[in-house]
Chain A
Amino acid sequence: MVRIINFVFIIFFLSLVKAYSLIEIDITRGNLDPLPIAVSPLFQDDNSKKNSINELKIENIGSEISFVVENNLKTSGLFNPLSKEAFLQKPDIAHLKPRFEDWALIKAQALITGKVTLENKKLKVEFRLWDILAGREMMALAFTTVPTNWRRVGHIISDKVYERLTGEKGYFDTRIIYVSEEGAKTARVKKLAIMDQDGFNTKYLTLGNELVLTPRFNPTSQMVTYLSYFKNLPRVYLLDIETGTQEVVGDFPGMTFAPRFSPDGKKIIMSFAKDGNSDIYTMDLENRIVERITNHPSIDTSPSYSPDNQFITFNSDRSGFQQIYVMKSDGSNVKRISFGKGLYGTPVWSPRGDLIAFTKLHKGKFYIGVMRTDGSGERLLTENYYQEAPSWSPNGRVLIFYRETKSNDKGEGFSAKLWSIDLTGYNERQVQTETDASDPSWSSLLSN
Chain B
Amino acid sequence: MNFSKSFRNTFLVILLSLIVSACATKKTTTTVEGQMQGDVYTGTDTVKYLADGVPDRVFFATNESILTTKSRDTLRKQANWLRENSSINVVVEGHADERGTREYNLALGERRANAAKDYLITYGISADRISVISYGKERPVDSGSNPLSWSKNRRSVTVKAN
Contacts and interface: CB of A to CB of B under 8 A. Distances in A.
What class of interface size applies to chain A in its complex with B?
Answer: 35 or more
A273 B110 contact: yes
Given A255-B133, A276-B114, A386-B99, A411 B104 contact: no
Given A186-B140, A409-B146, A404 B65 contact: no
Contacts of A409: 144, 146, 149
Contacts of A188: 138
A184 interface: yes
Contacts, number: 111
A389 interface: yes
B12 interface: no
B102 A388 contact: yes
Given A214-B103, A258-B103, 14 more contacts: A186-B139, A214-B102, A255-B106, A257-B106, A258-B106, A271-B103, A276-B65, A276-B114, A301-B107, A322-B101, A361-B99, A386-B98, A411-B144, A414-B143
Interface string A338-356: 0000000110000000000
Given A211-B138, A276-B115, A409-B146, A389 B107 contact: no
B104 A322 contact: yes
Contacts of A301: 103-104, 106-107
B125 to A, nearest CB: 15
> By CB atoms of chain A within 10 A, which of B103, B117, B138 has the most?
B103
Given A232-B133, A345-B103, A359-B101, A255 B140 contact: no
A309 interface: no
A395 B132 CA distance: 41
B63 A213 contact: no
B100 interface: yes
B73 to A, nearest CB: 21
B141 interface: yes
B115 A388 contact: no
6 contacts: A184-B143, A186-B142, A299-B104, A302-B101, A302-B103, A322-B63
A158 B107 CA distance: 41
A260 B60 CA distance: 30
A231 B112 CA distance: 22
A257 B106 CA distance: 8
> By CB atoms of chain A within 10 A, which of B63, B107, B118, B139 has the most?
B107
Contacts of A185: 140, 143
A278 B110 contact: yes
Contact of A213 (B102, B113, B133, B141): B102
A260 B122 CA distance: 37
B44 interface: no
A278 B143 contact: no
A186 B144 contact: no
What class of interface size applies to chain B in its complex with A?
Answer: 20 to 34
Contacts of B103: 214, 257-258, 271, 301-302, 315, 345-346
Contacts of A411: 142-144, 149
A266 interface: no
Contact of A315 (B104, B113, B118, B138): B104
Contact of B101 (A232, A277, A389): A389
Contacts of B106: 213, 227, 234, 255, 257-258, 271, 273, 301
Contacts of B114: 275-276
B57 interface: no
Contacts of A271: 103, 106-107
A432 interface: no
A272 to B, nearest CB: 10
Contacts of B158: none
Interface in A222-268: 227, 232, 234, 255, 257-258
A406 interface: yes
B134 to A, nearest CB: 6
A386 B108 CA distance: 18
Contact of B111 (A277, A388, A410, A414): A277
B101 A276 contact: no
Nearest to A364: B99
Contacts of A302: 101, 103-104
Contacts of A227: 106
B66 to A, nearest CB: 12
